[in-house]
Structure 1
Amino acid sequence: MPDAPVKYPKQPLVADGGPGVHWITRPDPEGWTEPVLMEWELRGETWTDEHAHDEYAYVLEGRLFVESGGVTVEATTGDTVCVRGGSVGRYYAPEYARILGIYGPNPAGGGTRLLGFGKLTD
């Protein structure tokens, strides 16, 4: 039924050598035309990546810092930050941030290139 709603049930966030992540819809390595959704969190951690598509980070809880192009912005619950495709983005949360990640369309494919992940030090 093409007009029927699709339910994506809540899943736990899984940290497998990186931040806790739950893919709501997964990106296709061959490309995608619809937004891709993920929930993720940082707990005193930093994540740096580069991707071909625009990435939006909607802060569900906590405080997130996003650095790109030499500019750093602070986002708190309810704020959204966009890092444009082709840019390097550094995301960090000194304490905690839970984020809804939204990847813009990427019909040519190509995923995320991880540049760094780790714990923040005092």
Structure 2
Amino acid sequence: MPGRAIIEPSPHGWVGVAMTEWELRAAEWTDQHPFDEYNFVLAGELHVESDGQVAVAAVGDTIRVRAGSTGRYWAPVYARMLSIYAPNPEGLDSQSMGLRRLDG
């Protein structure tokens, strides 16, 4: 998945925040983190499903996925996001459920 770390999350945990920039092009990504995740939309439109709720975020919007919740993120066309991860001092593992193309 295209992206880059701005503040690298350490595999051994972190006490501040971690920050990445990433994008989706006609694709969806599903994962679960043991920490809160905030996604600020920089470009395009991001759809997020978590805890039975679906939200659509446009440029300038922020969506939070709570710790322990599964987040399903998708961009029918394109979305570029800044993700901020809350502290994870114990270095608990995240679970990736994968990337799926939406255009076939």
Quickly name the TM-score band, shorter chain normalised.
Answer: over 0.9
Who is 2:9 aligned against? 27
Determine the C-alpha separation between the residues in 1 that align with 2:25 and 2:92: 27
- Tell me how far 1:24 sits from its aligned partner: 0.7
| Divergent runs of 4+, >3 A | none
TM-score of the superposition, structure 2-length normalised? 0.95
Q: Which has the higher strand share?
A: 2
Q: Which runs of 5+ in 1 are unaligned?
A: 1-18
Letter in 1 for 2:71: G
Matching residue within 23, 36, 43 for 1:41: 23
Who is 1:59 aligned against? 41
Tell me the secondary structure at the aligned position of residue 55 of structure 2: strand
Determine the C-alpha separation between the residues in 1 that align with 2:29 and 2:49: 10
Who is 1:81 aligned against? 63
Matching residue within 78, 103, 107 for 2:85: 103
TM-score of the superposition, structure 1-length normalised? 0.82
| CA-atom RMSD in angstroms | 1.1
Q: Which runs of 5+ in 2 are unaligned?
A: none
Letter in 2 for 1:28: S
Tell me the secondary structure at the aligned position of residue 24 of structure 1: strand
